[in-house]
Structure 1
Amino acid sequence: MTNIDLGRPLQGDVVDLILDDHRRFEALLRDLRDSSQDRDAVRQAFAALHVAHAEAEEKHVYPKLKRRNAVDDEEADHGVEEHAEGNEALLKVLELKGTDTQAFEDAVEKLAELVNHHLTEEELTILNPAREEVGPQVRADLGALFVEERNAQIDADCGRIENVRRIVAEARREGLLDDDEEDGED
């Protein structure tokens, strides 16, 4: 578990709640790049938030927005793929022993690149349609489901390395991740 405050919202408009988490991701990424921070604590906090947020979106938000025709299958599936890529990059950051190495900084840079790309794309292609196509009551109900899942995941220590490894392995089995060069597989 982390001692860094990840917020514990209990309700709200799902779009606002997701955006609040997006701003938290950006702040945590800044802290991961800052060598004066306790980078190990920051990466644990980032891991918990990343996994909890992605799981809550995939379980509740994306399916509901698809059913409401606010987003199409392609946009939602792409979001899931980007979560998988983020988790894979996160795992590389978590597996590094030291946090004051070039390898750590390179891994953080890759993670930041993937996560920032996803935040931008999700805000444009999923959250904007959600605002326009889904009414305030549905967004509030979805917000309650989102935070319930998000907070339960954080309480279950979802960011621990064993769990991230399991999630990445599952994504690979489901074909959500391209085998990268260093695996030597095709």
Structure 2
Amino acid sequence: MTDITQLILDDHDGFRRQFAQLDELRDDPMQAGPIFAGLAAFLEMHASAEEEHFYPALLKKGGEEGEEETDDAIGDHDEIRDGSRRAAAAEAGSDEWWKAVDDTRAANTEHMSEEEDGALAIARRSISRAERDRLGVKFQTFKIEHPGAHGLSGEAKDPKEYIEEHS
């Protein structure tokens, strides 16, 4: 299936599984560190792919609701990136590291819930299935072109500037 909304949901399931795996590794920083590093790259690759392909389409087709959801999502992505950066700067397994991991998880969990109930539902109502499939191919291609978030800046984006640039 190449419907971008389903591909996004599939990634969300992967995030949930990887955070659950980290739950079992609280006392094993040698394993937890690399797992979170991979998860952080997956989160960045996903957010960047959404920002490149999903949210511009939602802005064009989703009306005022689409704009509100995009504004919220870009801000959420920034919170997720902030947590990932703080974890990368801390020693794996330290209290500071776990706090950053937990903050990343909380921001991501909130974002996924809002996105699943808001942006994805709006997209299914306002973007044709054929267009969602075309976007899905672009979304998958973007992720293939950026394995491990290679070549992605991970920089925060101002939601208002993003909306202005992509509207």
TM-score by length of 1: 0.75
Read off the aligned partner of 1:94 and give its amino acid letter.
A
* TM norm structure 2: 0.83
In the alignment, which residue of structure 1 is the partner of 2:60?
Answer: 67
What is the SS of the residue equivalent to 1:42? helix
Structure 1 residues without counterparts, runs of 5 or longer: 1-10, 177-186
Question: Match of 1:86, as an amino acid?
Answer: I
Partner Cα distance (1:142, 1:49) in 2: 19
**2:99 counterpart (106, 130, 146):** 106
RMSD over aligned CA atoms reads 2.1
2:92 alignment partner, SS class? coil
Q: Tell me the distance in 2 between the aligned counterparts of 1:89 and 1:156.
A: 16
Q: Which residue number in structure 2 is paired with residue 20 of structure 1?
A: 10
User: Could you tell me whether the CA contact under 8 Å between 2:4 and 2:139 is conserved in 1?
Assistant: yes
Gap regions ≥5 residues in structure 2: 161-167
Counterparts of 1:43 and 1:158, CA distance in 2: 19
User: What pairs up with 1:2-151 in 2 under 5 angstroms?
Assistant: 12-35=2-25, 36=28, 38-69=31-62, 71-99=65-93, 101-151=94-144
Tell me the equivalent position of 1:8: none
In structure 2, relative to structure 1, the CA distance for the partners of 1:126 and 1:156 (3 Å cut) is closer
The CA deviation string for residues 147-183 of structure 1, in whole angstroms up to 9 with x for no partner, is 1112212266357xxx44xx14xx3xx488xxxxxxx
Cα distance between partner residues in 2 of 1:132 and 1:103: 42
Higher helix share: 2
Q: Deviations over 1:123-161 (max 9, x none)?
A: 0110011122222111100101111112212266357xx
SS in 2 for 1:54: helix
Distance (whole Å) between structure 1 residues aligned to residue 52 and residue 40 of structure 2: 18
- Segments ≥4 residues shifted beyond 3 Å: none
**d(CA) in 1 for partners of 2:66 and 2:135?**
18
> What is the number of equivalent residue pairs in this alignment?
156
2: distance between equivalents of 1:143 and 1:28?
A: 23
Distance 1:158 1:40, change over 3 A: farther
The CA distance in 2 between the partners of 1:144 and 1:103, in whole Å, is 38
